[in-house]
Amino acid sequence: MILLFIIVALFIGIYFKETAKVLTPFGEMYLSLLKMCIIPIVASALAYSIGKLASSDEASRQLKRSILVILASLIAVAFIVSLLVSSRSRVFTLF
């Protein structure tokens, strides 16, 4: 059924451009509502999963180690990018 409506929407968009322009706000509203529903569900599922992992001893150690590795990686990348950006800005100020 979904595939049928995707084909119909493509057909309307290609051959009936004026009708597609009229229907565009409804499609945008549908996508906005979908985003409003999906993002909180995914965020709560993620938080619940992390909470369940934190209650287990072995998983808790793994989770802490993973978070430390991710944070260290982010800090290292930020440091490297800041060095690259600052070195390029010095080069441009010399010329």
Instruction: Give the tokens for residue 3.
Output: 């595939």
pLDDT at 73: 96
pLDDT at position 88 is 66
- The predicted pLDDT at position 89 comes to 61
**How confident is the chain (95 residues) per 10-residue block, as mean pLDDT?**
89 91 90 89 89 76 87 94 76 52
Delimit the domains of the chain by residue range: 1-55, 57-95
Is the pTM higher than 0.95? The answer reads no
> How far is residue 58 from each of residues 49, 53, 66, 67, measured CA to CA in Å?
15, 9, 12, 14
pLDDT of residue 63: 78
pLDDT at 44: 93
Comparing C-alpha atoms, which of 78, 19, 39 is closest to residue 9? Answer: 19
Contact between residue 72 and residue 64 where contact means Cβ atoms under 8 Å apart: no
